Chains A and B, each alone.
Chain A
Amino acid sequence: EDQVTQSPEALRLQEGESSSLNCSYTVSGLRGLFWYRQDPGKGPEFLFTLYSAGEEKEKERLKATLTKKESFLHITAPKPEDSATYLCAVWGSGYALNFGKGTSLLVTP
């Protein structure tokens, strides 16, 4: 059974203080790993898809990387508007995405 574990559960950063979020996974036949951002009361907003180990993608202050066992979402010099819950999801053998519980990020001025 596919498993996705995200850590930490919650993270508080000062504005400008870079850090990384972790997503560890076990899946039979990874077809894709997704990162989403979710604001309170809203749907997940797509950030990145990673397909194979070694792949990296960047968007503004975010950079996602992938290994055979985990993915990292690096946040460089975060701003308060980056505060949100960041969700990791794996796409394995079926149609479904299997989500982790998310990391709740708070960036303070």
Chain B
Amino acid sequence: EPEVTQTPSHQVTQMGQEVILRCVPISNHLYFYWYRQILGQKVEFLVSFYNNEISEKSEIFDDQFSVERPDGSNFTLKIRSTKLEDSAMYFCASSDGINGYTFGSGTRLTVV
């Protein structure tokens, strides 16, 4: 069964550092998303990406965040200057626009 692949599975970074979280969506999907889940809280939408541009973003997705599809297969989330409160599980998801999203297994980001 096709799956969404995320790397790394766990990232520890110092406050103020930049991190890049990587995702390989399902190959025939056109819609890509990032969500996050702070420990013990609900899954929250960050951003959606379609046709090489951001189609929607939440209030959480401020200027420290950016997304990119650098080639035909990868989709990345960059956090420019990490804060302690950015510690969370970050999930990438993709969709064909008709059926349910497929989520990756996530990257656990720990900011120290």
Contact = CB atoms under 8 A, between A and B. Distances in A.
Interface of A: 32, 34, 36, 41-46, 48-49, 87, 89, 94-102
Contacts of A102: 42
Interface majority SS on B: helix, strand, loop or mixed?
strand
A69 B19 CA distance: 41
Contacts, number: 55
B103 A45 contact: yes
A43 B42 CA distance: 12
B31 A100 contact: no
Interface stretch (B63-71, B78-86, B94-102): B94-102
B58 interface: yes
B105 A43 contact: yes
A104 to B, nearest CB: 11
Query: Counting chain B CB atoms within 10 Å of each CB, which of A36, A45, A96, A101 scores highest?
Result: A96
A87 B100 contact: no
A87 B101 contact: no
A96 B91 contact: no
19 contacts: A32-B100, A34-B100, A36-B103, A41-B106, A43-B105, A44-B91, A46-B103, A48-B100, A94-B56, A95-B56, A96-B33, A96-B45, A96-B48, A96-B56, A97-B35, A97-B43, A97-B45, A99-B42, A101-B41
